[in-house]
Chains A and B, each alone.
Chain A
Amino acid sequence: MVNSLTIRLKVNGTEKSVNVEPNERLLDVLRNKLYLSSVKAGCLRGECGTCTIIMNGKLTKSCLVLAVEADGSEITTVEGLTKGGEPTATQKAFIEKFGFQCGFCTPAYVLVAHWIIENMPGATDKEIKELLNAVICRCTGYKQILEAVRRAREIREGST
């Protein structure tokens, strides 16, 4: 039995030190050891995208990352978006545009949308769809998610 290892993560702005097994997925550490239940497992093979997080500024499927690989990383989940209880532009837009139904994929989409408006504010619809492709939503038919991304950008531009 290999001994567990200690890794350091900055999760949603807070420094954390966690003991992990060498074969443990980052997804499982976030859910089971850091209690971030917004990070969901849907397939464990990088197909469905419900485990998406932002890791070191990049959209990342946390089921495909070993926890030990993430040592020293900065991680954002949906729990970390909300500052002082006030919804972000993205969250407001998803509510306003009915951009969610069952909600299982929603934390992932909120992060993708947040990443788009922060990093690619001029993204075309085609580029937005390409990024949304990384996550599966079986409920909405994607239209209202796409509308929510566009709306989030408007809200953010209006607020800055």
Chain B
Amino acid sequence: MRSYKYVGKPIPRQDVSKVFGDAIYAYDVKLPGMLYAKLVGSRYAHARIKGIDLSGALRVPGVVRVFAGDDFPFKVGLYAADRDVLARGKTLYYGQPVAGIVAETLQAAEEAAELIEVDYEPLKPVLTIEEALSPDAPIIHEEMSKYRHASFVYPKPGTNIANYLKLRKGDVSEGFRKADVVVEGVYREPLISHAYLENWVGTARVFHDGTVEIWSSHQSPFAVRHLLAASLGLPEGKVIVHHTFTGGGFGGKAGLLLEHIPVLFSMRLGGRPVRLELNREENFFFMAQRAGYLFRMRTGATKEGKLVAHYGEYYLDAGAYADYTVNIGRSVGFVPTGPYEIPNIHVDSVTVYTNKVPTTAFRGFGMQEMHFAFEQQMDKLAQELGIDALELRLRNAIVPGKSYLPTQVRVREDAGDPAGTMKRAAELIRLGKEIKKPKEPWKFRGVGMASFWKGPVQPSNAASSAIVKVNEDGSIDVLVGTGEMGQGTINALAQIVAEELGIPVEKVRVSPARSTDSVAYTWQTVGSRGLFSEGQALLRAIDDLKNQAKEIASLVFRVFRDEVEVSEGKACVKGKPWECITLAEMALGYTLPNGRAIHGPLIGRGSHVPSQTTYLDPETGKGEPKPFMTFGTGAVEVEVDLLTMRVKVLKAVTVLDTPVINPGLALGQVYGGAVMGISITLNEELKVDPEGRLLNPNFTDYKVARAEDIPDEMVAEFLGVGQKNAPYGAKGIGELTMIPWPAAIANAIHNAIGVRINELPITPDKLLQAVMRQRPELLEALEKELLEAS
């Protein structure tokens, strides 16, 4: 990569208020006269509501109003409007809000919540994918045919299927006939939680003219605005969404969350501000979590190691509301394999309702889960064929410009360098080389790799825009719609502005706090799309600004516009660096010697839309789904302890093909993604009892990685192979960093002890069972050795 002054450098973050304690989150926003809302959760996973008695709650001093399901007789949602505001007629999961209290104090609201009496008639809960699909399964959404669905969602009313997607490429039967080796596998991942640190909170009020205003903890201010408007029948222009810093999202705060609840409560209470703040336990119950997965796969290759066919049945356990998860079902259906060219693919991806907590996006959008399955298929094939795991991957890796995607379009020539990441990651983890044997006879080490790809899953018209303003002191304010939830895209955008205009990066501010009525539109802050999409809009805005500066200079110096160049914060006549006007001098326009002023304030605007993506064929999936794909490979060295059955990741290697704008930020994504990925591989699972009650809604029982759990060594490399239309070639990486770990760890465990694990999380009990089933002789030998030693 070419050397730049700011791009590619670890410039410190702009949002340093976070280390001084004065960063403001939605959680910190309070309004005068604010009321407090509290939701009451269902005691049953699946039950008819026969009656609800609110009278006790209404008698508590300070209670202003109590709401129940029938107060809001409509559904809300993004891709599938399947959500009740408060449960109407039936509860669909344990903890589902059935009533809402608004009071002058939180204490009064909490007291009243205890006094709501609901009369339930329990129904049989549907708790697994298999149960949901069985012919005699209770139907969870009996009125599905009446729901509003996005045009690309294909539900099956009368069943528990929220979306059914088909991908067809080539002729899979013919493909399997050519295969010399076929491997099969069944892989599962449980529902998990994003476990961001800031619980969801929203404070809303309604103005006298009906304009709604809300501060909430979300990723995508404009998506919240659109969905509030669509759900409540308001015009977008009457909804203002304020974005503050967001205390972590990871997909869990994409789309519409609970914003409609405080808004609706405020609407019914004369517009008084209403705050709904979830505590940790409520956040586990009321906020959407991540779906569970079941993959059935058959993959075939020739003896030369060429992949020829892949057949898959993919199922997502979406919980009670599949609103967002239907689109994840599409994501894993359209990219149903790792980054390889396979001529014949037949995949059905089915999103299923169950009586569990609703689900939504999670970093990786199904790709981590799909790769957990597919990248184990690759290692199994390599083993069957007697080909090295790296070599098999290299023989089939996507070749930009030549290969065809599963959706049958050709991969762009500048798409990246999949093979390069595979080779480098294998080298860094010393794949195939001798591994140091631990001195304890019960410890075994192994290495494993997993390659991956992903691009944003978005509508073909997902738009972005940017506005660049020059201040009187020559500093720059940039307005974009990207949310800031830790990923730091705003810093990368500031570096791009500094580079393009040749001004110090300290003079560029990309404001982290913004409102939908005063910043430029962007569709959503999801899918690792921010830098790519806002970056392109921003480059166009800078270009627009430069043209205006050139025009002013051309009038002042009486030259053609193309004789002027903009650099180092000035517009100068080319070749005459003494004939210049600074950006500061023309910030508000330029005043000529005779007093006449020209042009007015400099303001650049730019837009972006992924113009090359298309709709996808409903029968085959054919089409261009993504504006870019980032390619990468992860590799780990693990130590398996057969006495404790614990797995420790000693080293984690990430290689991504893309260049990066800020290596400090990019490494933060890589380390954070790796530790999150390791945590979900080894620990994380939302557990329910046979009645569907969530058993671990807290951080004692839902364990996320802490500082002592991280690998001894985390290594990352960026190969710098850019895509031409990406800003400075840089593609998104935020989600990508999370994808390879479950597969790489499972492959490394197999490398260490010859045991294959098909289900997450890889807990000691699961590992013990797998060892006893697959390699009992390991335990017998160990027992003998330990007895002899004693």
The answer to whether B19 and A144 have CB atoms under 8 Å apart is no
Residues of chain B with a CB closer than 8 A to A87's CB: 19-20
The answer to whether B486 and A103 have CB atoms under 8 Å apart is yes
Q: Chain B nearest CB: distance from A130 CB in Å?
A: 7
The answer to whether A98 and B10 have CB atoms under 8 Å apart is yes
The interface bits of chain A over 41-78 (1 if a CB of B lies within 8 angstroms of the residue's CB, else 0) are 11111011010000000000000000000000000011
The answer to whether A101 and B197 have CB atoms under 8 Å apart is no
Given A82-B20, A94-B19, A144-B671: A47 and B247 interface contact (C-beta under 8 Å): no
Contact residues of B between 173 and 219, Cβ < 8 Å to A: 194-199
B789 at the interface (CB under 8 A from A): no
- With beta carbons under 8 angstroms apart, the residue of B196, B676, B708 that contacts A129 is B708
B590 at the interface (CB under 8 A from A): no
Given A38-B21, A78-B20: A102 and B280 interface contact (C-beta under 8 Å): no
Given A95-B16, A103-B18: A140 and B198 interface contact (C-beta under 8 Å): no
The answer to whether A102 and B710 have CB atoms under 8 Å apart is no
The answer to whether A140 and B671 have CB atoms under 8 Å apart is yes
The answer to whether B672 and A103 have CB atoms under 8 Å apart is no
Given A47-B699, A141-B676, A144-B668: A101 and B245 interface contact (C-beta under 8 Å): no
The answer to whether B672 and A43 have CB atoms under 8 Å apart is no
Residues of chain B with a CB closer than 8 A to A38's CB: 21-22
Number of B residues near A (Cβ < 8 Å) is 55
- With beta carbons under 8 angstroms apart, the residue of A43, A77, A130, A138 that contacts B280 is A43
Contact residues of B between 641 and 697, Cβ < 8 Å to A: 664-665, 667-668, 670-676
Closest to A93 in B: B19
Residues of chain A with a CB closer than 8 A to B198's CB: 40, 42, 102, 104
The answer to whether A140 and B668 have CB atoms under 8 Å apart is yes
Closest to A144 in B: B668
Residues of chain B with a CB closer than 8 A to A132's CB: 706-708
Residues of chain B with a CB closer than 8 A to A144's CB: 667-668, 671
Given A42-B198, A91-B20, A107-B21: A138 and B676 interface contact (C-beta under 8 Å): yes
B152 at the interface (CB under 8 A from A): no
Interface residues of chain A: helix, strand, loop or mixed (majority): loop
B487 at the interface (CB under 8 A from A): yes
What's the Cα separation between A136 and B245 when bound, in Å? 18
Closest to A131 in B: B707
B287 at the interface (CB under 8 A from A): no
Closest to B666 in A: A98
- With beta carbons under 8 angstroms apart, the residue of B17, B28, B487 that contacts A101 is B487
The answer to whether A101 and B486 have CB atoms under 8 Å apart is yes
Contact residues of A between 116 and 152, Cβ < 8 Å to B: 126, 128-130, 132-133, 136-146
Q: Chain A nearest CB: distance from B282 CB in Å?
A: 11
Given A133-B706, A141-B714, A143-B714: A91 and B668 interface contact (C-beta under 8 Å): no
Residues of chain B with a CB closer than 8 A to A100's CB: 13, 18-19, 486
Given A98-B665, A138-B704, A144-B671: A43 and B19 interface contact (C-beta under 8 Å): no
Q: Chain A nearest CB: distance from B8 CB in Å?
A: 15
The answer to whether B197 and A138 have CB atoms under 8 Å apart is yes
What's the Cα separation between A105 and B198 when bound, in Å? 9
Residues of chain B with a CB closer than 8 A to A78's CB: 19-21
B250 at the interface (CB under 8 A from A): yes
The answer to whether B672 and A101 have CB atoms under 8 Å apart is yes
Most buried by A among B199, B247, B249, B676: B247
Most buried by B among A77, A107, A137: A137
What's the Cα separation between A130 and B658 when bound, in Å? 35
Residues of chain A with a CB closer than 8 A to B591's CB: none
B27 at the interface (CB under 8 A from A): yes
Most buried by B among A37, A77, A110, A146: A37
Residues of chain A with a CB closer than 8 A to B611's CB: none
Given A37-B24, A101-B488: A136 and B704 interface contact (C-beta under 8 Å): yes
What's the Cα separation between A136 and B18 when bound, in Å? 16
B69 at the interface (CB under 8 A from A): no
The interface bits of chain B over 365-399 (1 if a CB of A lies within 8 angstroms of the residue's CB, else 0) are 00000000000000000000000000000000000
A157 at the interface (CB under 8 A from B): no
- With beta carbons under 8 angstroms apart, the residue of A103, A137, A145 that contacts B15 is A103
Given A101-B672, A102-B486, A143-B671: A138 and B248 interface contact (C-beta under 8 Å): yes
B698 at the interface (CB under 8 A from A): yes
Q: Chain A nearest CB: distance from B295 CB in Å?
A: 26
Q: Chain B nearest CB: distance from A36 CB in Å?
A: 8
Q: Classify chain A: how many residues form its interface, as a range.
A: 35 or more
What's the Cα separation between A142 and B652 when bound, in Å? 14
The answer to whether A139 and B672 have CB atoms under 8 Å apart is yes
Residues of chain A with a CB closer than 8 A to B13's CB: 95, 98, 100
Residues of chain B with a CB closer than 8 A to A103's CB: 15, 17-19, 23, 245, 247, 486
Most buried by A among B15, B21, B699, B707: B707
Contact residues of B between 292 and 326, Cβ < 8 Å to A: none
The interface bits of chain B over 1-31 (1 if a CB of A lies within 8 angstroms of the residue's CB, else 0) are 0000000001011011111111111011000
Closest to B279 in A: A44
- With beta carbons under 8 angstroms apart, the residue of A91, A139, A141 that contacts B19 is A91
What's the Cα separation between A100 and B19 when bound, in Å? 8
Closest to A142 in B: B707
The answer to whether A139 and B21 have CB atoms under 8 Å apart is no
What's the Cα separation between A87 and B247 when bound, in Å? 23
Residues of chain A with a CB closer than 8 A to B280's CB: 42-45, 47-48
B485 at the interface (CB under 8 A from A): yes
A15 at the interface (CB under 8 A from B): no
Residues of chain B with a CB closer than 8 A to A145's CB: 707
The answer to whether B195 and A138 have CB atoms under 8 Å apart is yes
The answer to whether B486 and A142 have CB atoms under 8 Å apart is no
Given A43-B699, A104-B248: A142 and B20 interface contact (C-beta under 8 Å): no
Closest to B710 in A: A142
- With beta carbons under 8 angstroms apart, the residue of B12, B20, B710 that contacts A141 is B710
The answer to whether A37 and B28 have CB atoms under 8 Å apart is yes
Residues of chain A with a CB closer than 8 A to B698's CB: 43, 45, 47
Residues of chain A with a CB closer than 8 A to B704's CB: 136, 138
What's the Cα separation between A77 and B698 when bound, in Å? 26
Q: Chain A nearest CB: distance from B711 CB in Å?
A: 9
The answer to whether A140 and B19 have CB atoms under 8 Å apart is no
The interface bits of chain B over 21-43 (1 if a CB of A lies within 8 angstroms of the residue's CB, else 0) are 11111011000000000000000
What's the Cα separation between A98 and B247 when bound, in Å? 16
Given A45-B698, A136-B704: A102 and B485 interface contact (C-beta under 8 Å): yes
The answer to whether A98 and B667 have CB atoms under 8 Å apart is yes
What's the Cα separation between A146 and B710 when bound, in Å? 11
The answer to whether B699 and A136 have CB atoms under 8 Å apart is yes
Residues of chain B with a CB closer than 8 A to A43's CB: 279-280, 698-699
B246 at the interface (CB under 8 A from A): yes
What's the Cα separation between A36 and B667 when bound, in Å? 31
What's the Cα separation between A75 and B588 when bound, in Å? 49
The answer to whether A102 and B246 have CB atoms under 8 Å apart is yes
Residues of chain B with a CB closer than 8 A to A133's CB: 706-708
B700 at the interface (CB under 8 A from A): yes
The answer to whether B197 and A37 have CB atoms under 8 Å apart is no
What's the Cα separation between A94 and B16 when bound, in Å? 9
Given A102-B486, A104-B248: A77 and B21 interface contact (C-beta under 8 Å): yes
Give 11 CB contacts A-B under 8 Å: A45-B698, A91-B20, A95-B13, A95-B16, A101-B486, A101-B488, A103-B18, A105-B197, A126-B708, A136-B706, A144-B667
Residues of B within 8 A of A (CB): 10, 12-13, 15-25, 27-28, 194-199, 245-250, 279-280, 485-488, 664-665, 667-668, 670-676, 698-700, 704-708, 710, 714
Residues of A within 8 A of B (CB): 36-38, 40-45, 47-48, 50, 77-79, 82, 87, 91, 94-107, 110, 126, 128-130, 132-133, 136-146
Name 20 extra pairs, CB < 8 A, besides A103-B18, A139-B672. A36-B21, A37-B24, A40-B247, A47-B699, A82-B20, A99-B19, A100-B19, A100-B486, A102-B198, A102-B245, A103-B17, A103-B19, A106-B19, A129-B708, A132-B708, A138-B194, A140-B671, A141-B668, A142-B706, A146-B707
Leading 3 A-B pairs by shortest Cβ distance: A38-B21, A103-B18, A101-B486
